[in-house]
A and B are shown apart, each in its own frame.
Chain A
């Protein structure tokens, strides 16, 4: 969006197509992201504004290419690293360790 008056996420009033009516049941990993976002705030590591700032800074491309909870987990991670809960290196090490456990979400739970 090139309009200097508002950023990409401020989309009220723009033209768009018919509202897509298909929905889905939330997967357990999505529910866990939702829970971690609530609990991370309750622990005082960030606020809803911090979450939104990360979501909005991801830009329009992320909105189009990532699912809702993919964007949320990325924003959660950014806020927790900024708060010093863990480091980027710790995250990378942990993700590699998890990937080595198996190929499906269910198989890699510790």
Chain B
């Protein structure tokens, strides 16, 4: 029975406990979010189903999407050419909804490493990687990624050789970068799916490297 819980104050209308993040004291800004949502529904602007569908679409986006693109580029030279030529179209070709943004893939090679940042705010290839990690949006990352990127990379555990060229790409709302990491050595016999498992979120931001096989 759903109503056998002892503390009825903490049950939702469905008879289940609320998620923990709903149990804190209601804040001013949370109240504003509910108000905006309810006003938009009442005025016929949006339906609750549309809002939920948008949340579901965002939840479905994860670094696994980007990893699939990277693994394909590692195994399909023609696709890699198309990806570097027009990242948006290449990602769409694989069935990913990229929206109106321009996606630019930048390739790591034996002597060049790429790093992406949005110094102005939080622009990120969210349609391919999901929502950005919190550190990506911090003053510290935004300020220092273009000032002392090698020191920032060391904080992420990436210590680049001094003779590696480091390119830092500053994203905008209209143009978002994704790093195509270098394929690790010793992966010649791996399938595209196995390769995708090596591709981490941070390796596509440039703050990390792919996992070793």
Q: Which residues of A contact B (CB under 8 A)?
A: 9-29, 31-36, 38-40, 43, 48-49, 52, 55, 63, 66-70, 73-74, 76-77, 80, 85-86, 90-91, 94-95, 98-99, 102-110
- The answer to whether B143 touches A43 (Cβ under 8 A) is no
Interface residues in B43-74 by Cβ distance below 8 A to A read: 43, 45-46, 50-51, 54-55, 58-59
Q: Which of A24, A94, A109 contacts B134 (CB 8 A)?
A: A24
- Decide: A94 near B51, CB < 8 A? Known: A27-B21, A28-B19, A52-B121: no
Contacts of B152 in A (CB 8 A): 19
Contacts of B122 in A (CB 8 A): 68
Docked Cα-Cα span, A23 to B29, in Å, equals 20
Contacts of B40 in A (CB 8 A): 36, 40, 80, 85-86
Q: Which of B19, B43, B46, B135 contacts A20 (CB 8 A)?
A: B135
Interface residues in B122-140 by Cβ distance below 8 A to A read: 122, 131, 133-135, 137-140
Contacts of B143 in A (CB 8 A): 11-16
Docked Cα-Cα span, A40 to B173, in Å, equals 16
- The answer to whether B45 touches A77 (Cβ under 8 A) is no
- Is B141 interfacial (CB-CB < 8 Å)? yes
The A-B contact count (CB < 8 A) is 175
Contacts of B59 in A (CB 8 A): 31
Q: Which of A9, A32, A85 contacts B39 (CB 8 A)?
A: A85
Contacts of B137 in A (CB 8 A): 68
- Is B163 interfacial (CB-CB < 8 Å)? no
- The answer to whether B147 touches A14 (Cβ under 8 A) is yes
- The answer to whether B142 touches A12 (Cβ under 8 A) is yes
Contacts of B102 in A (CB 8 A): none
- The answer to whether B22 touches A12 (Cβ under 8 A) is no
